[in-house]
Amino acid sequence: MLRNAFEPWHLILIIAVLVLLFGSKKLPDMARGLGRSMRILKSEAKALKDDRSAEAPRPESAPGH
């Protein structure tokens, strides 16, 4: 259904709309900010994954009688 969702002319149209909306001077700053945000997100996700794997699995205690 969405096999060819983005053809080259779709991408050109999206880029043109972005340039018209934000201007050519703001786009590099926005892309840089997005890149920084993605790097922070990746590092935080990796740190969370490392924290979870570093914790020793705790055996579940049997209900007390």
pLDDT in tens, 6-64: 788 888 998 899 888 888 888 889 889 999 999 999 999 999 988 888 775 655 655 65
**Full-model pTM:** 0.53
Eight-state DSSP code of residue 55: S
Quote the pLDDT of residue 54: 78
Return all residues near 36 (Cβ < 8 A) that are at least 6 apart: none
Quote the pLDDT of residue 3: 66
Quote the pLDDT of residue 39: 96
Quote the pLDDT of residue 53: 82
